[in-house]
Amino acid sequence: MRYADGPTVEVSLDIAAAAPAVWAAVTDIDLPARFSSEFLGGRWLDGAPCAVGTQFAGRNFHPAMGEWETICTVVDFDPGQVFAYAVGDPGLPGATWRFTLVPAGDTTRVVYWMRMGPGRSGLNFAIDAMPDKEERIVARRCEEHRANMLATLEGIRSVVEGT
């Protein structure tokens, strides 16, 4: 798999709570920082409420890249169902992330999805330096994302379920 292919990662988890409680956790942009080894936190810019077009700054850390901040733009927002944002230029994002809620009575399935590219991201520096290892670099990054995404969903579940 190559970066230009727009690799994706998707994980899901059932949470024993009604969708409104899960939605509040999913749209709390700072909450994942408690569970992810990479995401350090987020803050809405200009105190903006969550809606399509609003922006937030996200801080991240990776041992290979150090610490950095990105500007993210909400690109899909359907209250109680979908919250998605693009990293960097929303027209050519370095990544797109999306939470989708699927209510089923007293349980809510959360589907957490991300796509790399099509715009450049920090990963491109590694690919540029070692183009012959692109597939391994992309695969490893997908696994890092998968681990952090699962940790985030499990953390959200523990907060919402009170466990």
How far apart CA 130 and CA 137 sit, in angstroms, is 9
Instruction: Give CA–CA dist 153/155, Å, rounded.
Output: 5
Q: What is the reported pTM?
A: 0.94
Per-residue model confidence as pLDDT tens for the chain (163 residues): 899 999 999 999 999 999 999 999 999 999 999 999 999 999 999 776 788 999 999 999 999 888 999 999 999 999 999 999 999 999 999 999 999 999 988 899 999 999 999 999 988 889 999 999 999 999 999 999 999 999 999 999 999 998 7
Instruction: Give Cα 91 to chain centroid, integer Å.
Output: 17
